[in-house]
Chains A and B, each alone.
Chain A
Amino acid sequence: MNLTLKVWRQETRDSKGRIEVFPAKDIPSEASFLEMLDIVNERIIAEGGAPIHFDHDCREGICGMCSLTINGIPHGPESATTACQLHMRHFRDGDTIWIEPFRARAFPVLRDLVVDRTAFDRIIEAGGFISVRTGAAPDANTTPVPKEEADRAFDSATCIGCGACVAACKNSSAMLFVSAKVSHLNNLPQGRPEKNRRALRMVQAMDEEGFGNCSNLYECEAVCPKSIPADNIARLNRDYALAAARNALT
């Protein structure tokens, strides 16, 4: 198939970006979206140009590295699919495809489609863990966890930290990301002792990193490649309110 790509190009964090147009000719429809970009890059290199930079690693939808906004949608048109798992048969011959980075104030562009998402790491560092030292753990079956609870924790824990939720939100809010981690840990008996502290500190870190408030439109849920449900956000709001109230009392 033959396509036209309109791609965001930006040399460095501080330079000004622009859209450039590239033809993508003779693309096999079995290729993945990133393989299509590989083919285009091979041709750009052969012609002496600078290849399009984009983040990727596992190419199987789990590492969270790929981060393309395709035709205005983070990770593109297929639901529950990362850009690396999107295949070209979902496009039509002759299509024009817009490819841009995940945009947010807290995710500055480093080059072309590559953005800096270290803000997410700093939010986890603020409290997205259980404080247990290696070697101090009791036998794993000492504390039974009801299957439903464990499954619910798992559903939130599948977040791949890609940042699509932020890119989709008009306020660039990180509430889905933060609430998924808080739900995962606060739902488990092991995570309860630090429940309040975790909610308070992660929300505070999120605010400090420049993410906006929840828009309540749940675009985040719609684009999430792992279908993390937005009801996590309500749970986080509740945990946060309780923790804040308790904090005010003590």
Chain B
Amino acid sequence: MPLSLHSAVPSGPIDQKWTRHKMDSRLINPVNKRKYSVIVVGSGLAGGAAAATLSELGYRVKCFCYQDSPRRAHSIAAQGGINAAKNYQNDGDSVSRLFYDTMKGGDFRSREANVHRLAEVSLNIIDQCVAQGVPFAREYGGLLDNRSFGGTQVKRTFYARGQTGQQLLLGSYQALSKEISRGGVEMFSRTEMLDLVVVDGHAKGIIVRDMVSGKISAHAADAVVLATGGYGNVFYLSTNAKGCNVMAAYRAHKRGAAFANPCYTQIHPTCIPVSGDYQSKLTLMSESLRNDGRIWVPGSISIAEKIRCGDLRPGDVQEEDRDYYLERKYPSFGNLSPRDIASRSAKEVCDEGRGVAPTGLGVFLDFRDAIQRDGHDSISARYGNLFEMYEKIKGEDPYLTPMQIFPAVHYTMGGLWVDYNLMSNLPGLHVAGEANFSDHGANRLGASALMQGLADGYFVLPSTIANYLADQQPGAVTESHPEFKHCLEEVTGRVDTLLEIRGKRSVDSFHRELGLLIWDKCGMARSRDGLENALERIPEIRDEFWSNVRIPGSGEQLNQELEKAGRVADFLEFAELLCHDALDREESCGGHFRVEHQFTEDDAEVRDRRTQPGEAKRNDQEFCHVSAWEFAGVGTRPKLTREPLEFENVELTIRSYK
């Protein structure tokens, strides 16, 4: 049966769609709401907000997370801020401008109606968070302060020092705690979802493992919400938390949910470089540093070599021997060029052999000129905590010697396919936050993920989920349904199989091997040859995993190696999906750069100076669509269905930041 992808976008002018949709949405009366149960997997901004709000509305909610407390979801690590079109600065911001910036930032690969709704709802988010006590930065007059972020020309980012994600997450965690104490939400921490249960084509529950006792059990509900975050850890090294994984989304995919645009992955240009093969994760240095730091590498390979072996100090490199390559190539945006452009340029200069850091994979972010211009104190007032963090990790003082940075995987725009109601093609399965594919197209703008997670969780899902539930008989499916028993047996069997391999290699060694391969072949620059090579290598690594992984201990105890193994097993399948999508998309757009598709001197756009050689070249004729993939068996090419993207309110242009 061909996959039917009905986007359910309401008709009418773009700025009235959401209002109309809410009016036309089904309502469930308060007495009946109590009869419906909803499972929410994830307690980050998207899941925490959704669980709390659904419970406030009267639904009975069960919420799950793998950490020891819902307060520790990875949203906690977001630093920079959250966008909203409040126009408190009176600098010309509006819902339409935020809508346009997000469409353009996403390189015209997102659904207009969803993005417009996001921009509309952004207003309510800030109100809600302030009412909860989120301590956003304020001006002396007592009103809220804003800063600006990459890819925009207005100040619309709300922030709480360098800890915006933490403060927003504590807000939703506290709302969730309020509902837990009221009895509306039952919370299951240290509980991992291992599978989705589908009954007669509808998502009706999940299989979970209690990570302390090891007990595997089933939970049924009238609808399931996945808010399980992104899949950046398929690269092993990323700025994500160690536990971030694709398991929940991928299990749903294997049960029939389409996975959309997995090849849209975001690489953040300013992270601390890798220092050795023991490295376990990468640390982001906030993008805001690019406001004052100048990015450079030596102009020649020989000078770069001297710096790498410690024979020359960066401060002693003469001005004429420095290449401020972003300022040179993009004079108007300079060091503030969008993330994908800044990242790719860093890779290029390192590939040429001009990289710094002992590994050759690093560039300088230098504050010397800013300190000379504005003084030590004002730089410290702006970035003090970031400089401290850098010094803690690298043991070098950025006031005295330039920081070393390198791009790292940071965010994943792709995710499970959802319609306007945030429901996947599997009825009953809803997906929120980074786990869905919905709003950022091929590239996400800074400070927009927090906005999307909270929009989905507080405002969109609680209103749209009734469109599904209203047609369901509450409590019709319970854990005693044979499908639950069947799924439980499958999951238990899989865990046992993993434990029985008793091979020689650790789980981490496989994850590292996979990560290196994917970073190399499906990272910042992708080619047909590289991707085809990866598609040959992945099944080999996977086969070795299933015959040679060593997981000490048993399943009936807290067993961290077993937890990791389950996640890595899924990454080893998911990686193939990622590469298939990257191979199929014969264009470059946003976070997806195919070396075969870049502008050259021969293109008219280069000749009339709208862009320059080496820039990403979209193919709007053939690729203005969402690629939604259906699972077709492990090791078998997944089945592609395209959802065409139509643009009525924006004009497709070359994304130029020159």
Contacts and interface: CB of A to CB of B under 8 A. Distances in A.
Given A35-B279, A58-B77, A154 B135 contact: yes
Interface stretch (B102-110, B170-178, B594-602): B170-178
A140 B506 contact: no
Given A30-B276, A154-B135, A161-B69, A146 B74 contact: no
B380 interface: no
A160 B506 CA distance: 31
B67 A63 contact: yes
Interface in B546-573: 550, 552-553, 557-558, 560-561
B94 interface: no
A194 to B, nearest CB: 10
Contact of A188 (B133, B163, B275): B133
Interface stretch (A92-100, A111-119, A215-223, A233-241): A111-119
A32 interface: yes
Contact of B74 (A63, A114, A153): A63
B511 to A, nearest CB: 12
Contact of A144 (B142, B160, B173): B142
Given A137-B131, A158-B166, A188-B135, A55 B68 contact: yes
Nearest to A29: B395
Interface string A120-154: 11001110111111111111110011110011011
Given A30-B275, A129-B175, A147 B142 contact: yes
A65 B74 CA distance: 11
A140 B77 contact: no
B140 to A, nearest CB: 5
B278 A31 contact: yes
Contacts of B144: 140-141
Contacts of B175: 129, 132, 134
Contacts of B557: 11-12, 111
A146 B242 contact: no
A72 interface: no
B26 interface: no
Contacts of A81: 392
Given A45-B506, A140-B144, A62 B177 contact: no
B241 A118 contact: no
Nearest to B454: A134
Interface string B178-200: 10110000010100000000000
A144 B136 CA distance: 12
B392 A134 contact: no
A130 B142 contact: no
Interface residues of B, number: 79
B138 interface: yes
Given A45-B506, A63-B67, A35 B178 contact: no
Interface string A197-219: 00000000000000000000000
B492 interface: no
Contact of A128 (B135, B177, B189, B459): B177
B560 A135 contact: no
Contact of A110 (B127, B161, B212, B389): B212
A35 B283 CA distance: 14
B53 interface: yes
B327 interface: no
A62 B142 CA distance: 27
Interface stretch (A1-9, A46-54, A164-172): A46-54
Contact of A137 (B52, B130, B552): B130
B500 interface: no
A59 B280 contact: yes
A150 B163 CA distance: 14
A156 to B, nearest CB: 9
A45 B549 CA distance: 11
B390 to A, nearest CB: 11
A63 B167 CA distance: 12
A60 B386 CA distance: 12
A60 B283 contact: yes
Nearest to B172: A134
B132 A140 contact: no
B177 A138 contact: no
Nearest to A145: B142
A197 B138 CA distance: 28
B132 A150 contact: no
B506 A46 contact: yes
A173 interface: no
B143 A141 contact: yes
A28 B276 contact: yes
Given A60-B283, A158-B166, A134 B458 contact: yes
Contacts of A45: 506, 550, 552, 561
Nearest to B66: A57
Interface residues of A, number: 77
Given A125-B177, A137-B124, A147-B140, A62 B69 contact: no
A239 to B, nearest CB: 15
B132 A63 contact: no
Nearest to B279: A35
A228 to B, nearest CB: 13
Contacts of B504: 46
Contacts of A179: none
B128 A190 contact: no
Contacts of A190: 130-133
A69 interface: no
B133 A185 contact: yes
B128 A134 contact: yes
A134 B88 CA distance: 22
Nearest to B502: A48
B368 to A, nearest CB: 24
A227 B369 CA distance: 32
A56 interface: yes
A32 B393 CA distance: 8
A140 B68 contact: no
Contacts of A39: 278
B74 A141 contact: no
Contacts of B561: 45, 51
A232 interface: no
Contacts of A20: none
B466 interface: no
Nearest to B284: A60
Contacts of A35: 278-280
A103 interface: no
B654 interface: no
Contacts of B509: 42
Nearest to B129: A140
A81 B178 CA distance: 31
B56 A63 contact: no
Contacts of B126: 140
Contacts of B276: 28, 30-31
A30, A81, A190, A191: most-surrounded residue (chain B CB, <10 A): A30
A39 B280 CA distance: 10
B281 interface: yes
Across chains A and B, which 4 residue pairs bring their CB atoms closest together, nearest first? A144-B142, A129-B174, A137-B131, A125-B181
10 contacts: A46-B506, A50-B552, A60-B77, A62-B77, A134-B53, A134-B459, A150-B138, A150-B142, A161-B71, A190-B130
Given A128-B174, A137-B124, A161-B72, 7 more contacts: A30-B395, A64-B69, A64-B72, A85-B389, A87-B392, A132-B128, A145-B142
Interface of B: 49, 52-53, 56, 67-72, 74, 76-77, 86, 88, 124, 126-133, 135-144, 160-161, 163, 166-167, 170, 173-175, 177-178, 180-181, 187, 189, 212, 241-243, 275-276, 278-281, 283-284, 389, 392-393, 395, 458-459, 462, 504, 506, 508-509, 550, 552-553, 557-558, 560-561
